[in-house]
Structure 1
Amino acid sequence: MQNLDWIVLTGTLLLIVVYGTYQSRGSKNVKDYLKGGNTSKWWTIGLSVMATQASAITFLSTPGQAFNDGMGFVQFYFGLPIAMVVICMVFIPLYHRLKVYTAYEFLENRFDLKTRTLTAILFLIQRGLAAGITIFAPAIILSAVLGWNLLLLNVIIGVLVIIYTVSGGTKAVNVTQKHQMVVIFTGMIIAFCLIIDKLPEGITFTKALDIAGASGKMEVLDFSFNLNNRYTVWSGLIGGTFLMLSYFGTDQSQVQRYLSGKSLREMQIGMMFNGLLKVPMQFFILLVGVMVFVFYQFNQAPVNFNPTATDVVLNSKYADDYMAIQTQQREVFEMKKATINEYMNTNGKVSADLIADYNIQSDKLRTDARELIEKAGDSRNLKVESNDKDYVFIHFILNNLPRGLIGLLLAVILSAAMSSTSSELNALASTTAMDLYKRNSTEKSDSEMVKASRLFTLAWGIIAIGVACVANLAENLIQLVNIIGSIFYGNVLGIFLLAFFFKFVKGNAVFTAALITQVIVIGLFLLNEYEIINLPFLWLNFVGCVIVIAIASIIQSMSPKNGYIKA
């Protein structure tokens, strides 16, 4: 990185922190601190909701996901528009009418205190873990690529977020996220244009799509019912809808974004704005990853994009084997490049199957390289991340973008980490303050609650930094976050659906069913991980929701007084 990159990076991040702290100063009561004084317009709500979901993981992992597997991941979001309609019709009017601070307040009115407390605790567990990962994701990748100290990066990202989130609460989060999204959109559009510009002369965007298609990267829709395919139209529409309903309808990190709305109409329009824009945004980010793939069809790519992993294996007894793989990869690259040029010059007369064969060979070499990296790490008792999906985009940025724009793209990644983390800390603090602290203690004044909320924000920020410092990479970071959510979201959504639509079910039945369901869902996830059953994580949202509704209904129907028990 050059001095100009450092100026752009630090200037952008500090401006966001200072602006958010300044604009949200003076929050003196709970309504101002936790609901932003109910002043947010629909565009602020929509952008804030998008920024909360679009963490740094989105901008690091999603392009890498597309680089390896193509555009199919976009199917994961197909349930989002459906979920937005349901939330606008059912969830938001109810929350607005009850004037709740958290989604879980409603559950006490409908069921009882213990159900509210249990659901809040389930949220705190999964979102507390996710907050640490949203800090850890960019930190570990930037530390590996740039040589920055990992623990220091975790602390810096966490502290920057804590400063304005503790200071200004929900309003600070909303204000900063609006500007963070501008930085993010600007940076990604510039990156996309530069990728197209860096393709060889004569390779237009249309031809780039042809190359991606010949390589199997443009297969967007999969209508199969094969559970071995993690992302299909059906998993997106069914599992995705349930996941999005739970995330946007019951997860306080999202609910708090639209509870700050100026009116019911502003809240609903903001959520529909998110529903209309989110899928195209994810499609675009995946397309960026596909264009990076096309770029590396004409420019030599490393056999593994993680520089730390490469250093480990090249300084081990497996160095010769690894260099042999690098040599083979260069040979395959040159043959594939010649075939692609011939394919383009003859308008597709050369079979695309030949390109696909070369891609298979290249993928096999990359797999062999990962196995060597793992062996090298084991031989030296080192934890080495051999899967390099999350390093693809950052590698392209650092090695191919001009000075200044590198700093901007790094600011995009860190801004995304800050925006998502600030929402999570804000939501964790409000849930702890309103659902646990206030509800289970003596009456507190407004000033006491604001002070407590600030302390809880600080405490959760420290916990998130701690989780980040001890976390380990999964196969793909964006999948890790969704897996954590899927383990809990189905159960929580089922509790809310019972509250909305199953009026005969009471608190004791729901509480018992929720405990049983959570154990079952965790068990199903572990059985799938050990390949005893085949149940992709996305389906856990649907399964968990159905199980808790079924168990609660059965328990209630077996209770005295014709299905009614005293809650």
Structure 2
Amino acid sequence: MQTLDWFILIFSLLFIVVYGAWKTKGSQDVKDYILGNNESKWWTIGISVMATQASAITFLSTPGQAFHDGMGFVQFYFGLPLAMVFICIFFIPIYHKLNVYTAYEFLENRFDQKTRSLAAILFLVQRGLAAGITIYAPAIILSSILGWNLNWLNFILGVLVIIYTVSGGTKAVNVTQKQQMFIIMLGMFIAFYLILSYLPKEISFGNALQIAGVNDKMNILDFSINPNSRYTFWSGITGGLFLALSYFGTDQSQVQRYLSGKTVRESQLGLIFNGFLKVPMQFFILLTGVMVFVFFQFNKVPLNFNPTSQIAVEKSIYAADYKNLEERLALIQEEKKIVTLTYAKQINIDVDNPVLRKRIIALSEKEKNLREEAQGIIKKIKQEPNDKDYVFIHFILQYLPTGLVGLLLAVILSAAMSSTASELNALASTTTIDIYKRNFKSEKSDKHFVQVSKVFTLLWGAIAILFACFGTLVENLIQLVNIIGSVFYGTILGIFLVAFFVKFIKGNAIFYGGVLSQLIIFIIYYFTIHIYPSGKELLGYLWLNAIGAALTLGLSALIQVSMKNKN
């Protein structure tokens, strides 16, 4: 990190904080503080929705996911555009008609207070965990790479977000996310361009795609019907659809973004805008990771990208074994560089040499086996073997020129701040409106509830920072956040689907059906996913969304029929 990098990083972050606090200062009205006074235009809503979902985890973890596993993760998002259309048709008009501050107010109008509280509490639990992860994710990566103190990073990131979120509420989140998305996308496009420019002059973009394909990184579609495969076309179009429906339709961190729209049409256009751009954006980020993979076919690559684990191994009794693996990797990489370059040159003269292709595949398999052996050694010394989240940051720090390192770090931290701000804003709004106001203090002034919302923002910010300080990475970050969501979202979505479409089910039935469904999902998760940390689960986690929704619908219907028969 040079002086220019520090200047760009600090200026970018402070600008967002100061601009957000200044632009929205003095908000004392509940509608203004929580809904931004319903002034948001469709493009502001669309950008805010994208920025809320695109946390630092997206830009840290997704390229590493593609580096190791290829483009298949994009199938996770295939259900999202369909979900946007569904929400625009059914959810948004009802929310606007009822003039609600949170999605969960609607549930009391349809059912009763306890069902509203159940859905709100489920949201608070899972989103509270996610808020901690969105702070923890960039902090632990930057801490291990740059040698910064982890807890201080957690604290600084959390405080920066709290300052402008407390100051201006929803409006502050919306106005700052436009600047954050500009910084984020500018940084990613520059990084992508530089990766291609760093490739050998004989390697065109088309060659790079072919090299990635030979190494099994361009398998975008998987039509196999295999429930224990995490990412297939079918899991994306079903489980991904249910996850997107629940996230964008019932998660207050997203609902609050489009409830701030001037009209129903502005909110709908904002979500459609997100639906059109989200899949291409994720495709581009994954493709960036694939290009990083191609780049490392011609440049020195570490045996494990996690520097903390690597340092720990070098100080352990397994240092000699690990060194031997590194030497073997260097030999494989040198041969692979020559073979890959020769293969690319022959492609340029329309010759796809099958012998060279097979040699590249064989060398890739040897490299994969060496990495697995290295992970085995890392596990023996009780360190984290997962290095997917360190791939892109390693490339940034080792290969980008001065100035751009600061910009890309600003991208990562801006994304963390953007997503965390939305989460804290939504957590505070839900706690204030659905828990505090509804159950304790219903007759108070607007100013009182604005102040209470600010206090809850501060409180949830402190909880997120504490969780970040005591968190532990057990998964690839992008998957960990989605696993947490999948455990809770199915039940929440099921409650809302019953509310919208199944009129004969009443409050008691849906409440007990929701509680039972959530308990069953916990059990399913534990026995089919949690006890299989290698990723080879009995059931892909995306299916939990569909199962949870179906269980809630089925159980609540059975309970309602049973109660009716008893009467």
Q: Do the two structures share a fold, i.e. TM-score over 0.5? A: yes
Q: What do residues 38-66 of structure 1 show as CA deviations (whole Å, max 9, x unaligned)?
A: 11000100000000000000000000000
Residue 375 of structure 1 and its aligned partner are, at CA, apart by: 1.2
Q: State the match for 1:423 in structure 2.
A: 422
The alignment status of 1:535 with 2:530, answered yes or no, reads no
In structure 1, distance between residues paired with 2:13 and 2:531: 42
The residue correspondences of 1:34-45 to structure 2 (distance < 5 A) are 34-45=34-45
Residue 228 of structure 1 and its aligned partner are, at CA, apart by: 2.8
In structure 2, distance between residues paired with 1:199 and 1:261: 45
The alignment status of 1:93 with 2:98, answered yes or no, reads no
Q: What do residues 6-36 of structure 1 show as CA deviations (whole Å, max 9, x unaligned)?
A: 0000000000000011111121110000000
Q: State the match for 1:547 in structure 2.
A: 551
In structure 1, distance between residues paired with 2:229 and 2:67: 17
In structure 2, distance between residues paired with 1:233 and 1:412: 30
The residue correspondences of 1:2-401 to structure 2 (distance < 5 A) are 2-347=2-347, 348-351=352-355, 352-377=357-382, 384-401=383-400
Native 8 Å contact 1:67 1:293 kept in 2: yes
Q: State the match for 2:413 in structure 1.
A: 414
Q: State the match for 1:441 in structure 2.
A: 440
Native 8 Å contact 1:93 1:264 kept in 2: yes
The residue correspondences of 1:496-535 to structure 2 (distance < 5 A) are 496-528=496-528, 529-531=530-532, 534-535=538-539
In structure 1, distance between residues paired with 2:361 and 2:419: 38
Moved over 6 A (4+): none
In structure 2, distance between residues paired with 1:533 and 1:159: 38
Native 8 Å contact 1:60 1:138 kept in 2: yes
Q: State the match for 1:463 in structure 2.
A: 463
In structure 2, distance between residues paired with 1:358 and 1:444: 70
**Amino acid across the alignment from 1:546:** A
In structure 2, distance between residues paired with 1:422 and 1:344: 46
In structure 2, distance between residues paired with 1:362 and 1:87: 45
Q: State the match for 1:556 in structure 2.
A: 560
Pairwise CA RMSD = 1.1
Q: What do residues 183-228 of structure 1 show as CA deviations (whole Å, max 9, x unaligned)?
A: 0000000000000000011111111001001111001000000123
TM-score by length of 2: 0.97
Native 8 Å contact 1:527 1:533 kept in 2: no
Q: Which ranges in structure 2 are unaligned for 5 or more consecutive residues?
A: none
In structure 1, distance between residues paired with 2:49 and 2:223: 29
Helix, strand or coil at the partner of 2:238: helix
In structure 1, distance between residues paired with 2:144 and 2:204: 33
**Amino acid across the alignment from 2:558:** I
Q: What do residues 370-426 of structure 1 show as CA deviations (whole Å, max 9, x unaligned)?
A: 11112123xxxxxx2211000000000000000000000000000000000000000
Helix, strand or coil at the partner of 1:202: coil
Native 8 Å contact 2:228 2:537 kept in 1: no
Residue 533 of structure 1 and its aligned partner are, at CA, apart by: 7.3
Native 8 Å contact 1:64 1:390 kept in 2: yes
Q: What do residues 335-391 of structure 1 show as CA deviations (whole Å, max 9, x unaligned)?
A: 1112112211222214423211111110111111111112123xxxxxx22110000
In structure 1, distance between residues paired with 2:314 and 2:227: 38
Native 8 Å contact 1:250 1:496 kept in 2: yes
In structure 1, distance between residues paired with 2:467 and 2:450: 26
Q: Which ranges in structure 1 are unaligned for 5 or more consecutive residues?
A: 378-383
Helix, strand or coil at the partner of 2:539: coil
In structure 2, distance between residues paired with 1:46 and 1:436: 28
Native 8 Å contact 1:88 1:271 kept in 2: yes
Residue 301 of structure 1 and its aligned partner are, at CA, apart by: 0.2
